[in-house]
């Protein structure tokens, strides 16, 4: 026999009043059905919860222990509809966010602060992933929102440019190009050793660099995936590297930065990315906070 919320409410009222008449009055019912509720509850629990006679009602040891649990169950039952309503409205829930390593230099922190301030009831789960891994995770509903580099499949994903920045040349301290006091171009860079982005594992930056500067294959001394690794190699004097402007915030000692001459002043893009098929209400609210519309098609 299963217990009911009405039985729990009846028991709690009697346990707090220690009087069936007052408890029935509090519940706006008559005493006989209240007595039957408590009896049914005791049968469902399998223990005597109250000792009663014509003069008094007393909690048994089992009843005193059960009272605390009964109160918690009633509180959960009362809170459950409110929680469901908040989840449905996107004010509660979870948003799983993927991000590239480079996005942690500025945009990610600002995004998390905005979401934390406006949606305090939403948990934010973070995963550091390169763009192609974010796309796969979004496709398989393992992520809700990405901070990724374009391009994306427009039929499957919606996106909005979150951040744009310049492309810089990272140089070992004292390098001759740091003294030019102007953006450097292809002619300035000819013959310089280069720590280059991987054409497969960092394709976005690779394509962006080669579209701006014709890097000769013979000038490439190392090919790496992460910007931070590039900067350590630059510090070690292995060559120069092309990095987003936000990388200068890392403050790697022994590395200087000069602007790269590009057709677009801020060619580096970071996009919010989400699956058009997402039905996560918390994602919809997060996109509204971030000014990116809704998650629908």
Q: Which domains does the chain have, with CATH numbers?
A: 5-88 (1.10.10.10), 93-164+269-289 (3.40.190.10), 167-265 (3.40.190.10)
Q: Please tell me the predicted confidence (pLDDT) of residue 211.
A: 93
pLDDT tens-digit map of 69-104: 898 888 887 776 765 665 665 557 899 999 988 888
Strand ranges across the sheet with 268-275: 122-128, 93-99, 145-148, 268-275, 157-165
Query: d(Cα 261, Cα 36) in Å, to the nearest integer?
Result: 85
Q: With the C-alpha atoms ordered 248, 230, 169, 240, is the resulting torsion angle positive or negative?
A: positive
- Cβ-based neighbours of 74, under 8 Å, separated by 6 or more: 5, 8, 9, 12
Q: Please tell me the predicted confidence (pLDDT) of residue 107.
A: 87
pLDDT tens-digit map of 31-58: 999 899 989 989 998 999 999 877 789 9
Query: d(Cα 98, Cα 108) in Å, to the nearest integer?
Result: 10
Query: d(Cα 175, Cα 168) in Å, to the nearest integer?
Result: 14
pLDDT at 197 over 60: yes
pLDDT tens-digit map of 204-247: 999 999 999 999 999 999 999 999 999 999 999 999 999 999 99
pLDDT at 178 over 60: yes
DSSP assigned state of 149: P
User: What is each CA distance from 47 to 4, 50, 61, 66, 152, in whole angstroms?
Assistant: 16, 9, 10, 10, 63
- Cβ-based neighbours of 140, under 8 Å, separated by 6 or more: none
pLDDT at 294 over 80: no
**Do residues 167 and 208 touch, judged by C-beta distance below 8 A?**
yes
The residue-averaged pLDDT of 147-173 equals: 95
pLDDT at 293 over 90: no
pLDDT at 136 over 90: yes
pLDDT tens-digit map of 105-120: 878 999 999 999 999 9
């Amino acid at each position: 026999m299963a217990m009911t919320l009405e039985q729990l409410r009846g028991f709690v009222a009697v346990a707090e009043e220690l009087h069936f008449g007052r408890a029935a009055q509090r519940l706006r019912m008559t005493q006989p059905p209240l007595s039957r509720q408590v009896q049914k509850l005791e049968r469902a629990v399998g223990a005597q919860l109250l000792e009663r006679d014509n003069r008094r009602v007393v909690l048994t040891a089992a009843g005193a222990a059960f009272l605390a649990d009964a109160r918690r169950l009633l509180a959960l039952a009362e809170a459950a509809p409110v929680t469901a309503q908040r989840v449905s409205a996107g004010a509660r829930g979870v948003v799983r966010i993927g991000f590239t390593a480079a996005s942690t230099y500025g945009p990610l922190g600002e995004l998390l602060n905005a979401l934390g301030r406006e949606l305090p009831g939403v948990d934010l789960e973070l995963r550091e992933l390169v763009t192609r891994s974010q796309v796969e995770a979004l496709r398989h509903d393992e992520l809700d929102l990405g901070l990724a580099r374009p391009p994306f499949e427009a039929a499957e994903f919606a996106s909005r440019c979150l951040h744009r920045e310049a492309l810089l040349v990272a140089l070992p301290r004292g390098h001759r190009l740091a003294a030019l006091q102007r953006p450097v171009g292809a002619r300035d860079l000819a013959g310089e050793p280069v720590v280059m982005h991987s054409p497969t594992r960092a394709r976005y930056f690779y394509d962006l660099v080669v579209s701006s500067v014709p890097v000769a294959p013979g000038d490439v001394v190392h090919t790496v995936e992460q910007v931070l690794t590039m900067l350590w190699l630059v510090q070690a004097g292995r060559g120069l590297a092309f990095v987003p402007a936000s990388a200068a915030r890392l403050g790697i000692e022994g590395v200087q930065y000069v602007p790269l001459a590009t057709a677009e002043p801020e060619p580096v893009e970071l996009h919010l990315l989400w699956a058009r098929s997402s039905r996560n209400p918390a994602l919809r609210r997060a996109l509204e906070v971030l000014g990116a519309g809704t998650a629908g098609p």
